[in-house]
Amino acid sequence: MQALQLVQRGRASAPSRGTGRAAFVVRPSGPRNPSAARPVVRAAATPGARCEAKAKLLAVLADTERGYKCPPEVLDSVEAAVQRLEKINPTPKPLESPLISGKWKLVFTTSQSILGANRPEILRPKGPTYQIIDGEQLLAQNLEGPPFFSEVKADLTPRDDAATVDVQFTWFKIAALIPIKAPESAKGFLKTTYLDEEMRISRGDKGNLFVLLQDGPKTRVRRGPLL
């Protein structure tokens, strides 16, 4: 969603039986400042407790229009609900889990650029926004709905914490225009702080929060320019 990021590509592990999805292979890459996200102290929780916490978060998000209508008091409630889930994250090493791959639908973000907050109302994204993660190829693709149907493709490089990926954007496209190769400077990182079969929560290098829901099984991302 914002964008995704890179340096070198590794290979991914074979798909996990029963899921049809692939996890990332995490290779040590030397000391790094892992992410802007705060350390999370995890507590044990039952599946029922996680379901209840997810339901409370989705209830808070219900009227925010993916984050566009989110006054400070609502944002505080969102952050509190997110932190509750982060503390009971059942997948502390999400990049080693086959659950990371698939088609994800964005239901909330604080990223003003993704929300189009600075655009006139008529030019803001109206339809759903998706992110496809291909764990086998270490690729990601973001798909925006009308009016522009923008697309972004990115290479992913896992860090050795098994939760953070460096993201190097490679191609951009708006509407039916010719794809544009992204500059080398178009990069960042994304840390997944909660992951289960239904929901993924991530925090980006600019401090933005992303909440996504699983919307489809493993999908391949074609390598090379956008069509």
Interval 95-128: pLDDT, tens:
999 999 999 999 999 998 888 777 777 777 778 9
Determine, yes or no, domain membership for 37: no
- Which range marks the domain in which residue 116 is found? 92-216
Instruction: Supply the pLDDT for residue 4.
Output: 36
The pLDDT mean for the chain works out to 82
**Structural domains counted in the chain:** 1
| Tokens at 71, concatenated | 């006054």
10-residue stretch averages of pLDDT, the chain, 227 residues long: 34 40 50 47 77 98 94 97 98 95 96 79 80 93 87 96 97 86 95 98 96 86 72
Instruction: Supply the pLDDT for residue 3.
Output: 39
Instruction: Establish how many alpha carbons lie within 13 A of residue 19's alpha carbon, considering only the half-sphere containing its beta carbon.
Output: 16
Determine, yes or no, domain membership for 194: yes
**Which of the 8 DSSP states describes residue 95?**
G
Q: Which one, of 144, 190, 148, lies nearest residue 169 by Cα?
A: 190
| Tokens at 117, concatenated | 């907050």
Determine, yes or no, domain membership for 143: yes
Amino acid identity at 41: V
> What is the C-alpha to C-alpha distance for residues 131 and 149, in angstroms, rounded to an integer?
13
CATH number at residue 163: 2.40.128.280
Query: CB count, 10 Å around CB of 38?
Result: 10
Cβ(93)–Cβ(162) below 8 Å? yes
Determine, yes or no, domain membership for 35: no
Determine, yes or no, domain membership for 202: yes
pTM: 0.79
Determine, yes or no, domain membership for 2: no
Instruction: Supply the pLDDT for residue 163.
Output: 98
